[in-house]
Each structure stands twice: as structure tokens, then as C-alpha cells.
Chains A and B, each alone.
Chain A
Amino acid sequence: MGIVKIKKDFHEARWCEPIIYEMSTPGQRGILVPMPDDEIKAAAGDVLAAIPAKLRRKELNLPEMDQKHVLQHYVRLSQETLGANLTNDISEGTCTMKYNPRVNEDLAAHPNFAELHPCQDEDTVQGILEIYYKFEQIIKQISGMDRVTFQPGGGNHAVYTAASIVRAYWESKGELGKRDEVITTIFSHPCDAATPATAGFKVITLYPDKDGFPDIEALKAAVSERTAAIFMTNPEDIGLYNPRVDEFVKIVHSVGGLCFYDQANANAFLGVARAIEAGFDMCHFNVHKTFGTPHGSSGPANGAFCCKEEFAKFLPVPTVGFDGKKYYLDYDHPASFGKVRDFYGTAGVVLRAYAWTMNLGADGLRECADISVINNNYFEKKLLEIPGLSECYAGNGHRRQEQVRYSWEKLKEDTGVGTVEVCNRVVDYGIPHYWFSHHPWEVPEPMTLEPCESYSKDDLDEYAEVLRTVSKEAYENPEIVMTAPHKASAHKRNDDAALDDPAKWATTWKAYVRKHRK
């Protein structure tokens, strides 16, 4: 980074771009579709008649614009974000912002791959099926499990797959009515509570003990003949690795419950620890958190769900098989709970992840974990020297792994500047808004940062220097922090209730028009 430590004179582009619907000019078009030739008309007949009546619309509520201004609009919007590939995004703790190597993007964009269609005959897609099959073998080794599916469209979706398998398992035993409770922990990812609830289970949450680990005595009190499973993350959101995790598994197994290990973010232990040795029945990896693919927000993303052979019969269909000569899609799973997504998952992500993993090799994966932990150790030590900042469960004698949940409680007490204000201020130095914590905030004034293996020492130093600068400002001139951001494309919300009040919030244009333009 040379002599420039932090970007004091940063300023984000500010276009004050309207919503695209507000830019519409009636009659403007991007493409004028030519009418078909008479010859074609005669041959094709009335093509509109083939469209079912209920799908035909007289009016389309779409903005009317020419191509140039559509392009301009979206380029401007892209300049008003502080997203990946643009900034120092150590900010997104628990989310793991890895660098996505360009060469893998090139592979995914290659026409030989990009033009594949999921409805093609098996014989014509042997290449991608081979990649699916081979990547499954790799993930089996990394997890120690027997079977893997890449059908889920993201991490949460893979956890939902686990919940569906737990359901199918108890249903097959005729005990679903009785086994209706799933246990999780407050610092596990919230999907470990949300997806079993979606699958119809009651959710019991364990709170931490004084050292920040899930309270094992509470687990003992919670398990019973009603326990269907435990869904737990490790290391938890706060960066602590639970060294007694095998005991948790034994307690749940002792009442007949199943154990699912949320390993979405495996950066702390890739090549070091596996779900199988900890005793778990199932686990998953979030492919973008661990295997270097772009974040997809449960859309174009991928979750690798893994299980022991005993549960393989419940997996969603199809799975990918190999008969010694040919790769094939296997639908022959009569006990399968069905599907979690169309076709067989997001092929482009599996391709990128396979390329990423093959590039690194087994030793490289282990090195990723080592660097992630070393980065975090260095970063933690540096950050804890900043006035007003501390970490949760400080002094409990346990090292943090790949991330840390910090607290600005002291800064808030001393200066009135809390984590929300610090977070708004870092934006003025070109650092994206950081992640506080999942809800509820058990750690006061939280900040969760994760410096995975993608970040250089310069990145860590820049980030620490920005936080140090903001802390200094809070003690010397709190007003500048309280009124931040000053250099961002957008300022603060002028109505906080707009996010809390169902009568006010609008996440789509349609909802906005309905609620606010009556």
C-alpha cells in the first residue's frame, strides 16, 4: 500500500439516481422488435394463441427507456455501492468475503460452459456431471461424510435440506409426531433456528455460559424423547470454537436425536477438523464462504450438504452417479424427500468452487485455514489496542478462530458514540458498513470482523488504522462521528420507522406505489 495508510480524502460517487420507474418516458424503447415476415407469419400461424389467456397482459408495468440510459443508470448505481472487488471488506464478519479469482470467472463465462442447458441430454453434459461427481468426492474427504448434494441454492438452503432430512428420517420411523423439537444455540447462525422452524419443528435455543460457549447443562436439561436433532455452528458467530462439541453430540445421540453441524464458514478448520470425527450425522458448507465463489444471496449461490450413508436415501433428487464409464443423474431414490431447487443446483458455482479447490490442493486448503487464523490473531491484537474497543468474553482463556465479535460499549459510555455511529463513519474512509451481529444483540454495541486469507497485512493495517482514527475522533470531536457519513452516496435514513413498520416499508416498486402513492 506504500505510504498512504488510509483514504482520508475518499469520496464516493453521488448521483442521487432516481428509481428506474421514475425515469420512464412513455413510448421510449431500447429495442424495436421487427414484425415477422409474411412468410414466417403464414408458417407459424397465430403464435399469441399459444400463450394461455391468463398469462396475456394488455399493459406491462415496465419502465420505458432507451438502452443508453438503462446502461447509464445501472453503472451509476454500481458506483453508489461499496461492494466486493472495490473495497476492504473485512467488514463482513460471519459472511466471509473471499476474493473470487478472475480465472474462475472466465471459466464460468466460457461459452462451452455458459451455453449448457439443464434440459440437455445426459450424454451431452458429461463434462459438468464429471465436475459435480469429482467435487463431491473432494467434499466427502473434507467433511468425512459419505454423500454430498449441491442442489441447495445457498448456505441457508443447505441447512433447510438438513431440516428436511431430519423430518424425512423421523417420518420414516413413524415418530415425527413425537420428535418435534430441534435444539440450537444463540450464537449459531440464525438459519439453524429458522430452517427447522420452517420444516415444522419447535425450536429450543441454548444460551452461552460465562465463557461464551453454549451452556452444556442447559443442553442436558433440554434433551428428551422429543428431541429430533441439534443444529449448531462451530466456531460460533462470535469466533469461539467449542472444544466440547463432541460431548454435545453424545448428549443428543444419547436420547436418539440427530446432529447437524453448520460448517458454512469452514475457514477456521479446513484440513484441520472434520464433522465426522466430532460425531455428527450431517453437515454443510456454504460454497461462497469457504470455496472462493461469489456471494449469491440464496439465489445464484450454492450450499454443499453432506451426510452419512444412513441418511443418503433421503437426499433430494437427482444425485450425480458414475458407472465406471459414464456420469448420470440418478432419480432412483424412492425415500427422497423431493427437491429443494429446480434441476441440480447452480452449476456455475460448483464449477468455480471445483476450480478454486483444485488450484489450492489439499495443502493449500489447510494453508487457507492457517492464514485465516493468523490474520485474525494479528488483527485482534492490533484492534484491542484501540481505545474504547473490547471483545466479548474477553479473558476466558480461549483463542478466537477466524473472526471476533468486538464491542464498542466502552466508547459509547465514554463518548456517546456507539457502534452504529462508528459504522456510519468508517464509510467516510472508503470502508463498507460493517456487520454488527445477528439479532438479538447479546453483545452490547457489537462489531463482527473477519479477515480471511484473502486479505494482506496492508489490508489489516488499513482497517485497524481507520477504526483507530474513528475512535480518536469520538473522544476528541464526537459530533463528526455522530453526524456521519459525510462522504457517502447516501446519508442516514430520515425515518427509522420505515424499516420497522410494515405499513411503511416497501421492498419493491409495486409495494411502494401501493403504500405511498395512494
Chain B
Amino acid sequence: MKKKLGLIVNPVAGMGGRVGLKGSDGEEIQKRARELGAHPESPRRAMDALERLATIKDDIEIITYPDEMGEKEARECGFEPVVIGSVEPGKTSAKDTIKAAREMAEQKVDLILFAGGDGTARNLYDALGDNGVPVIGIPAGVKIHSAVYATNSRNAGEVALMYLQEKIKKVQDSEVMDIDEDAFREGRVTAKLYGYLKVPHEERLVQHLKSGRTEGEVAALNSIADDITESMEDDVLYIIGPGTTTRAVMEKLGLKNTLLGVDVVLNKQLVASDVIESQLLDLIKGKKAKIVVTIIGGQGYIFGRGNQQLSPKVLRAIGKQNITVITPQNKLSAIGNNPLLIDTGDYEANSMLSGYYKVVTGYQRTVMRKAE
């Protein structure tokens, strides 16, 4: 049976970037971008990715949305796609992306290849939720904080190729993140962790196509969780940040976990779930507390993206020496020689938190990484 590939192109993704608009969400902005002379970025990038699939043209069926949402790109690359749904050319919006992803899931596609930015990834998450349809993103947007994207268009094509050829068999939960664009244009960053989508995963190929073969995700998480839970001290509050790596710690303790939020543990028991800043400040008052966080998203942020509950106030009260960063080795390798990133929105807090961390990568195993 032919493999089915869903193809979604967000035709306006990336338009804002070239003209300094920090994002392209919203009709007004798209209009302004056009006035400023912006051209769509995503069609060309989608075609770069599709060219990688030329070798298996006859073995796959592409299911896509009309016109500029994928049909055009597929045809230009020599495919004869099955076109579903309907759109109003030149006036497509987030609603169309969501509709397209839903309908493709109903058609039981094996994978959705999509071109866009964080907003597009969010639309896919809205449509697909936890239903398990794997996706791989072609980075075409202004903001790429989500970890569902390949490092470039061609690599997105290659990942799709290898997944459809069953050379990649595993999928991994990867973060969908987005920033409030209105705030971003005013210079404030408030990135939120929206959820997780399944992304084809073979370490050498997906983690920036470079990290080699390591011990495997499950073993790595288990060994990190062993390290953290064994070294937990009595009568110390442990504030566990969001993410799949920290989830492994909670699972090891047998505690309910908030994947997208912050939980608090004391003497290996859950004392508060999905807390907000004010609750945290109350809880830690006069107590010894430690924070356990992991890298959120594809860029290496440990604070300020997806875990804003850990506010400058909270972080100041707890102090850098009481922060433990945990991550599997492959995620570190994926950010290459770049530092870990901190952006709490408070300059002083950022500088207080910057410097070296002994990042836990396994049982009794750490690496020195700088954060700035």
C-alpha cells in the first residue's frame, strides 16, 4: 500500500521577518508586510523539502489542500497530489490550517509535512492534539521556538523521506511553543509551551542531523530520573519544571505530573500541582527549595520560555546554586556549541542566573554548560 503524506503550506509564514515585523500572525500584519514589500517564504522552502521526496514519487500519495496551501508546490515539484478541502486563494488563515490537519488525520495520513512557524505548529497541535499523527515541520516562519521543526527545509524533506521509507521508526514528543506576537513586537517575550506533537526520531537524523548514536531516549530519561530522585534531600521543596525530561523524574517518584506546568514535591510526595508564581512564592517562604528544569523547545532555553511561573522573583529567592538542569545528551548535542539560554524578562535576574551549570545527563553524569 502506498504511504500517505499530508502536506500543508502556510502561505504567509515568514512574511513578517524580512521586513522586521517579528511574526506574521493576523490579517493586519500580513497586509502591512505586503505593503513593505515582503514575499512569502514558505512556498520555496516547501519545494526544497519536496524535492528530497522525488526518489519515492511513485511510492507515496500526497494529500494536500488547494492552491497555495500545498497543491501548487506539490505540482511544481512534479507530484500529482490528491487535493481535499477548499480555500479562498490569497485569504487563507489559521482556520484553514487547522481544518486541513484535521481532515488529513481523518484520511489516516502516515505523516504531515508542513511549512510554517510557531503559529502554524500551534494550529497543528490544536487540530491533532494527542491523536498521535506524526508531523515534521519545514522551518519557514519568523519564530521557530517549537522543537517540531527540522534544522532546514532539506532536512525536513529527508526526515519525511526516511520516515516514509521506514528507515526512521521511532517518534518522539516534541514541544509546540508560541510567543504572544503583540507582546513580542513591543519587545516583550512571553513564550508558552502549548503541548507536544509526535515527530519522527532517529538521533543522527532528527537532532539537527548530527548527534550520533547515544543510549536511546528511554534509557537516558530513566538514568537521569534515578540520579535526581536518589539525590533528593529530606525537607527540601523540589520545584519540577515542565517538559518530558522532568516528567521522567515525576514518573520515577510515582507522582502525577503536569507536562506543561510546574509541580512541587516535598519528601517525595506531591504538595502542589500546576502552580502559578504566587503559589510558588508562598510555598517557598522560609523553606529550603530547589528547582529542577530542562531545556524547553529547540533553541536551548532553560528559563523564560514555557516556564514563566518560575519568575525572576521565584528564581532570586531560590538562587542559582539550587537550580539543577537535566537533559538527555542528544538534546545538548542538538544545540551544538551554543550556550543554554535564559530570558526571564528581567535583566538582573538573567545575569544572576548566567554562568556554568553542571547539567545532569545521566546517573552520576554531568556536563559543564554555560548559560547566558
Contacts and interface: CB of A to CB of B under 8 A. Distances in A.
Given A207-B337, A221-B355, A497 B211 contact: no
A443 B337 CA distance: 10
Nearest to B55: A479
Which range contains the number of A residues in contact with the other chain? 35 or more
B70 to A, nearest CB: 23
B213 interface: yes
Interface string A186-225: 1000000100010001111111101000010111011000
B212 A441 contact: yes
Contacts of B358: 204, 222
Contacts of B368: 204-207, 215, 218-219, 221-222
Nearest to B357: A221
A439 B366 contact: no
Given A202-B365, A205-B366, A206-B368, A413 B154 contact: yes
Interface in A334-379: none
Contacts, number: 77
A500 interface: yes
B337 A445 contact: no
A387 interface: no
B356 interface: yes
Interface residues of B, number: 30
Most buried by B among A210, A416, A441: A441
A231 interface: no
A204 B216 CA distance: 20
A496 B167 contact: yes
A439 B370 contact: no
B204 interface: yes
Contacts of B211: 440-441
B283 interface: no
Contacts of B333: 440-442
Nearest to A202: B364
B210 A197 contact: no
Contacts of B212: 436-437, 439-441, 446
A206 B365 CA distance: 11
Contacts of B169: 497
Classify the secondary structure of A's interface with B. Answer: mixed
Contact of A218 (B209, B356, B364, B365): B356
Nearest to B364: A202
A444 B210 contact: yes
B367 interface: yes
Interface in B197-220: 204, 208-214, 216
B337 A221 contact: no
Contacts of A202: 364-366
Contacts of B367: 186, 204-207
A445 B210 contact: yes
A15 B335 CA distance: 45
A247 B225 CA distance: 35
B337 A500 contact: no
B330 interface: yes
A113 to B, nearest CB: 42
Interface in B149-205: 154, 158, 167, 169, 204
A446 B213 CA distance: 12
Given A203-B365, A221-B368, A444 B337 contact: no
Interface in B307-330: 329-330
B166 to A, nearest CB: 10
A420 B364 CA distance: 32
Nearest to A221: B356
A401 to B, nearest CB: 22
Contacts of B330: 440
A472 B365 CA distance: 43
Contacts of A420: 204
Contacts of B57: none
B210 A441 contact: yes
Contacts of A203: 364-366
A335 B227 CA distance: 32
B205 to A, nearest CB: 9
Contacts of A445: 210
A176 to B, nearest CB: 15
A436 B216 CA distance: 19
Contacts of A439: 212-214
A207 B369 contact: yes
Contacts of A413: 154
Top 5 closest pairs, chain A to chain B, by CB = A441-B212, A221-B356, A444-B210, A218-B368, A202-B364
8 contacts: A205-B366, A206-B368, A207-B367, A217-B356, A412-B209, A439-B212, A441-B204, A497-B169
Interface of A: 186, 193, 197, 201-208, 210, 215, 217-219, 221-222, 409, 412-413, 416, 420, 436-437, 439-446, 496-497, 500
Given A217-B356, A437-B212, A440-B211, 18 more contacts: A197-B364, A197-B365, A201-B364, A203-B366, A204-B368, A205-B361, A205-B366, A205-B367, A207-B368, A207-B369, A218-B356, A218-B369, A439-B212, A439-B213, A441-B204, A441-B333, A442-B336, A444-B210
